[in-house]
Every structure is written in structure tokens, then in C-alpha cells.
Structure 1
Amino acid sequence: MSTTDKARVPRSGIVGGTFALLSALYFAQGLPFGFFTQALPVVLRRSGYSLVAISASGVLFAPWALKFLWAPYVDRYGSRRRWLLSVQLGAAAVALILACLDLTSGLQWLFVGVAVVNVLSATQDVVTDGLAVRLLDARDRGVGNGIQLGAYRIGMIVGGGVLLWLFSFAGWRALFVAMAVLIVASTIPVLLLRTQLDRADVRPAESTTAVRLAGTWWVRLRRPGVLAFIGLIAAYKFGNSMGSALVGPFLSDLGLSLGQIALLEGGVASGAALAGAALGAWYATRFGRRRALLVAGITQTLALGLYVAAALDIGGIALVVTASVSEHVFGGAATVVLFALMMDASERVYAGTDYTLIACAVVFSQGIAGLAAGVVGQAFGYAAMFGTGLVLSGLGCALLLWALNKGIGPVQLSDSGVMAPDRG
């Protein structure tokens, strides 16, 4: 398509098509991730694995923390369309292979499949996040990130709830066939919406060798304010991630059945996260990033207090449901605002690399938080684990807001108006 032809496409059509494309792609990410992070821990707990062992299985998600290593290659080589078709269909193929294996006698091949799907999904995430940064301007990012988290959560609802329910009576084979079909279906917009994908094929003007490209992430990391910003993002998410890491095993240990857990975590709670995503998108657009970060940070922290009470056997199942809904609503709102802030900090030409670097900080933070949750929960109980997450969540929120008020972070945040001038 020529530049003139692109100019003739109405902006509403471009933005609407972009939202549709991003919705399908983020759904495709959430689908396997929801099963592997929400349903699988429950299955492992029922199989006799300890909390520490369940937490340690998070090493299978290392590609999500390491994707910054190959993000520069994704930015530089190949078209967005080719990348997406390759990784989407590859993930569907792995799901079909798992459907053909006998997983009843051991889970080693399941763990291999989880690792491979995570490599493919992490690569898809680099491409998709780059698309979002390049195709959405500042006024669209609040809504765009609401759609991002909403579609991702719907995928997690299906993966962590519906597929767990399917597994409970139909077994592994039906589960993975269904997963493969859904991933293929989510690839259809990649075939249809070529205009959006062509517009996102933007590369640096300079010629870059493969050797130099390998160090691009290091150059981007060393930009003024980036390291500090990454640390702040990680701190903001750490406490909440720790508090929510072992909710599935907590519910299992309370005596809830697989069907009840699937309904609560895959249905009620994830539905609440969708409401939280919409709330965060609206609030950030209406009142700005900094105020939204403050309100969402405080409320997601207070929601963890309900889990502390539930772990102390206060309030019964009603409080457990209230805690789950509250944490997902306010945690979802905080995540939307945080993702918009991360897009603000990324440069368009290096969109995939910049956003991926920052996103990896969130993954590192969540991985360490999950392991810490397992250690603290195993040693001191669920109440201590939830309480520690509450305290750290509050501290992380305060630290991020203080830093933005002092003007700490990449220069792009100043352009978006999210940082106050340095007051010394």
C-alpha cells in the first residue's frame, strides 16, 4: 500500500481495526498463559506438589523474562504479519502434539510443552506490544491498554477456567485440542487486517549488523532514566504479584473443588478483572496517569488485606469471594494504567525492544514475587504471605509516585506529562 493510499484510510477505521487485531492477539496470549498459571498450579497441588515446588515451576516461564534478548531481532527483521503467523501457528501445533501424548503417567512432556509455548507466546508478545506502541497515540493508549488487558483476561478466563473445567471431566486431550482450535481462530485477524500490520513495519534507518543488534537492548537499557524506571515498575508490581501468586493453591487447601475454583478464578474473578480494566482505562483517560496510578495502587494494596483476613479464617467463603473480586478489579485497573505508562516511556522506532525491556521487569518481579510467596507461605502460612505482599505493594506504590513527582524516568514521560519537574 502506498503512502497516499494509507492516508486515505479514515483514522476511525485504522484505530478500530487496530483494536480488533490487538484484541485477538492478546486473547491468544492469555489462553495458554491462563491455563499454565491458574489451572496448572491447582492440578499440581492435587497431584501432591508442595507450594515451593509449584512456585519453582515458574522457571518454565523464563522466556517471558528473557524475551528482551531477541526483541531487537523481531523489531529489525521480517514483517509483523510473518512473525505473528509463525508463532501463532507454532503454538497451535505444540498444543496438538500435547493432545497426542499420554500425560497420565507423568508430566515431564507437559513441562516441555509449556516451555516451548512460552517461547512462542513471548515472541508474539514482543510483536504485539510493538504494534500497540506504533499504532496507538497517547490519547488511544488508555483505551488500548484496557482492551489489551481485557482481551488477555478473557483469554485467561477461557484458559484458567473453561479449560480447567473441560479438563476436569474430559482430560488432557480434549483440553489441548480446544486450545489449538482457539489459537488458530485468533489468528484470523492477522490474515484480514493487513493495513494495520503494514503500517507497523517501521525499522531504524541505520544499517545494523547482527552482532550490533545483539547489544541493542543494552544500548536502550542505558538511556537516561530507564534503569530507575524499570526498578520502579518492578517495585510497583512486586507486592501485588506476591499476594496473588498462590491464590489457586490457597483455594484448593480451603477445600474448594476444581469446579468451584474454575468458577471463582476463571469466571467471577477474571470477570472482575475485565471490569477493572475498563475502570482503569476510563480513570486514566479522565484524570491522568499519575492520579490513576495513585488510586489504583492504594486500592489494589488494600484488597490484599481481605486475603489476610480470609487466611485467618475470618468471613468464610463470602470473604474469599470478596477478596478475589476486589483484588482482580483494582489489580486490573492498576495494570492498565501501568501498561499505558510503559508505552509512554517507549520510542516508536524501537517500540518492541523498549516496551519489552520494561515488560520483562514486570515478569522478573512477578517471578521473584511468586517464589517469595511460596517460601513465605510454606514457612509461615498464607496469612503471613498475603500480609507481606500487602506491605510491599504499598511501599512500591509510594516509591513510584514519589519518583515520578521528582522527574525520575525516561524523557518520553516528560513529553506525555506524567512526570512533574524535578523539585530538587
Structure 2
Amino acid sequence: MPHTLNQRLAILLTLYLAQGLPTGIFSQALPAILRSYDVSLTVIGFSGLLAIPWALKFLWSPYVDKYHSTQMGRSRSWILPMQALSVSLLVVIALFNPYDLANTQGVYSFFVLMFLLNLFAATQDIASDALAVRSLSYEERSFGNGVQVAGYRLGLIVGGGLLLYLVDVWDWRLSFLLMAFLLVLLSLPILLYREPVVEVSPSEVNLSYQQVFRTFIATPAFKAWFWVLVTYKIGDGLGSVMVKPMLVDMGFKLQQIGLFVSVLGSVATLLGALLGGVLTRTLGRYQALLMFGLLQAVGLASYGVLSWQWHHTGQVNPMLVYGVNAFEHFASGLATVALLSAVMDQCRRDHAGSDFTLQVSILAIFGGSAGLLAGVVTDLIGYTYYYLLSAFICVLLLWPVVLWGRWLRR
């Protein structure tokens, strides 16, 4: 009996929540934790290199598409082992001594653990994305991506904001053991899920590793779409990495950042994602990408205004900070749903994992690389000019979206 849309969305919700939890530890909690132990902004900026598995996961995505257990299911064959490995790694992190972050060796050791956590989560993402593409029709994708982004952001709330709060007011070891336990609970739905059998055409099965990518990137649709993938996340990548270090320098405590910034920001992204699912279907992919990209630029510029106020008065209104952070995350949720809906539209059913992963890897490579020099640039020009520059770049790089829209109307 086919699964209903609600059942499919529920499974996707738990999968992306499970993915967001360990990712939140890296992307949301790690910068603030490192800064609280006086790690330099330059090192924090270069911690973005730990996300390399997300940028390069397309290299092993064809194998995730091709090799699987017919008994377990095409996607479950990879999702279950990856989540089990993530649970094990969280237990190891729980045993790590956080005071070792005060020295270089401790930072590097922790970075290795974060790299492995990203590797397991990125591989789980390949299989989860493939399951989503195969499970959702064109009309369902905007809603499906809304649920996916919402689930992912819920995971970020837990792995980022809640973890930061617990580490600050409770205990490091117990906090990370709780994360491991929650990930076990989130693995139960996919463990009990009976994945539908997907028939693959013989011609597609026999494609070589290189042909999987070549046949995809050679299509006229992908050529028109490519520059949007390259540029759309660069402004966001520049802006997001320096938010929490800036707030630490402004005097915010980790529990404030964890509860009022990470949690409220993720809730705002969640709401933006859910609304984005409706608006993307109403406006269409092109109009949604353009409008939501402009809103992201406004959010980044607002951080620059906050920094200017802090530098000139020595203080900043916490409620204003929380409001700006919520707006920027809300815009990000809107834009992400529109972007991922368009990414799904490009995918072939037989190579859903590879096609989707190649596209999001391009997004990660260029968006993530932009943030690598964030610490260096911020040290040179300060937070105010850095965020104004990020907003300007964000607007400038919407031009490829305009060109793609012209191609669609040709």
C-alpha cells in the first residue's frame, strides 16, 4: 500500500531533524564554544574547512545511488549505518575534555571529531535527498522542502541552541550524551519504515561513474542553472559565520546566544521554510529566488547597523539583536526552500542522489569557501563594514538568477 503524503513528509521530517542535530553542533555551537575559550577569529573562520565532506560528497554519491541492500531499501541501506556511526561519535565527543580547547592540540583533536561527524551526516544526506526526490511529485516538492528545511532547523535548534545552553548551565558530558540519545530516538521511524522498491532502467544502471555526471551536466537546463548554484549562497556564506563571534565580543553569554539567538533564529528559519513552501508554489521558483535573495541581503546589512551602533555607543539593545537575527534567519528559510525546490526539479529519478548532491555540493563549495576568509577580512575591516560588504555582494550575485529567469521564458 503506497504511503500517503503525510506519512512521507513525516519520515522526511525525522530524517532531516536527525541530520540537523549533529550539523547544529558544528555550524551553530562550535563557533561560540571556540570563542568562549579564546580561540582566534582566524581559526574560527578556517574551521569552515571541517565542512569539506558537505562540499565534496558528490564524489561518493554515485556509489550511494548504486550500491544498497534490496532487503533494507535503496536509501535505508545508507541512512541507518550513518546515523548509528553519528550516535557513536557523539558518545566519544561526550568524553572529550572541553578545557583542552584552550590549547592548539585540543582544538585540532576536536576538529577531527567534528570532521567525522560532518562526514557521516553528509553521507546520510545523500541517501535522504534521494529518498525525498523519489518520494515527491513536482507539485509536492515545495511543501516537501518546507518540511525538510523545518526539520533540519529543528535539529539545529537542538544541536546548536539547546546544546549551547546546556553546556553553559549544565554539564558537557551529559549534554552530548543527551544528543546521542535523541539521535537514537530519531532513527526509530526510518528503522521501521518500509521503503518502496524503485525500478531502475538498464541503461541507467550501466552508466559508468563519470557518465553519471557527464550526462547530467550536459543538459541545456543544467547549463542555464549552473551559475545560480555557484553564486546564490555566497552572500549568506559570508555573513553567517561571523554572527556568533560578534555577539560574544559584544558581551553576550553562551546561554543567551544558545537560547535567544540560535533557538529563536532557527524557529524563525523554520517558520520561513514553512511559509516558503506555500509562497514558492504561488510565486514560482524564479520570482521566489529573486525576492527572498533580496530579503537575505537586508538581513545581512542589518547586522552591520547593529555593529555600527555597538562601536559608537558601546552597547546594543539585546531585543534588537534578537529581532535582526530572527529576520535574517526567516529570510534564509524562505530562500532555502525556493532554492532546493528548483534543485529537485533538475534531478533525474534514477540518479536522484547524485544529481541532487552534485548541485548542493556546488552550493556548499562556493558558499562555504566564501566564509573561509571571513575571520581574516573581519580582523582587517571590522564587523560593520564586513556585513555591509556581505549584503552588497548578496545583491550583486542575484544577477545569475535574472539570467536563469530569462532562459526559462525563452
Amino acid in structure 1 at the alignment position of 2:202: A
**In the alignment, does 2:197 pair up with 1:193?**
no
Shift in Å, 1:277: 0.7
Aligned length: 395
SS at match of 2:99: coil
Answer yes or no: is the 8 Å Cα contact 2:224–2:404 preserved in 1: no
Residue in structure 2 matching 1:236, options 202, 223, 232:
232
Match of 1:413 in 2: none
Distance 1:274 1:137, change over 3 A: same
Alignment of 1:13-24 (within 5 A): 13-24=3-14
TM-score after normalising by structure 1: 0.88
| Residue matched to 2:78 | 83
Separation in 1, partners of 2:214, 2:75:
23
TM-superposition CA deviations, 1:225-244 (whole Å, max 9, x none): 43552331231111122112
- The offset of 1:101, in angstroms, is 3.8
Match of 2:256 among 256, 260, 263: 260
8 Å Cα contact 1:69-1:217 kept in structure 2:
no
1:414 match: none
Q: Could you tell me how far apart the structure 1 residues matched to 2:164 and 2:261 are?
A: 10
AA at the equivalent of 2:376: V
2:88 to 65, 68, 93: 93
Cα shift at 1:103 = 4.2
* Structure 1 residue matching 2:147: 3-state secondary structure: helix
Kept in 1: contact 2:87–2:180 (CA 8 A):
yes
Task: Please say if residues 261 and 322 of structure 2, whose CA atoms lie closer than 8 Å, have aligned partners that are also in contact.
Answer: no
1:69/1:170 Cα in 2 relative to 1: closer, same or farther (>3 Å)?
Answer: same
- Work out the CA distance in 2 between the residues paired with 1:171 and 1:222: 53
Q: 1:99·1:174 contact (CA, 8 Å) conserved in 2?
A: yes
2:71 is matched with none
Partner of 2:313: none
Question: For the residues of structure 2 that align with 1:268 and 1:145, how far apart are their CA atoms?
Answer: 20
Q: Which position in structure 2 is the counterpart of 1:411?
A: none
1:334 paired residue number: 335
Residue of structure 2 aligned with 1:247, choices 239, 243, 246: 243
Question: Structure 2 stretches of 5 or more lacking a match?
Answer: 69-73, 101-105, 311-315
What is the deviation of 1:258?
A: 0.7
* 1:397 aligned residue: 398
1:205 matched residue in structure 2: 202
1:382 lines up with 2:383 in the alignment: yes
Alpha-carbon deviation of 1:170?
A: 3.2
Matched residues in 1 for 2:218 and 2:347: separation?
13
TM-score (norm: length of structure 2): 0.91
1:156 is matched with 156
Cα distance between partner residues in 1 of 2:201 and 2:176: 39
User: Residue 307 of structure 1 is aligned with which of 297, 303, 311?
Assistant: 303
For the residues of structure 1 that align with 2:174 and 2:199, how far apart are their CA atoms?
40
Stretches of structure 1 lacking an aligned partner (at least 5 in a row): 1-5, 408-418
Tell me the residue number matched to 2:283: 287
Give the SS at the match of 1:349: helix
Q: Secondary structure at the match of 1:138?
A: coil
Distance in 1 (CA, whole Å) between partners of 2:200 and 2:46 is 38
- Taking structure 1 as reference, are residues 209 and 117 closer, same or farther at Cα in structure 2, changes over 3 Å only? farther
Deviation at 1:268, TM superposition (A): 1.4
Deviations 1:310-342 (A, max 9, x none): 010166333322210110111110111101010
Amino acid at match of 2:22: P
CA distance in 1, matches of 2:325, 2:199: 41
User: How has the CA–CA distance of structure 1 residues 69 and 306 changed in structure 2, closer, same or farther, with 3 Å as cutoff?
Assistant: same
Cα 1:368/1:205, change in 2 over 3 Å? same
31-40 or 229-238: which moved more? 229-238
Distance of 2:380 and 2:199 partners within structure 1: 50
Q: Secondary structure at the match of 1:48?
A: coil
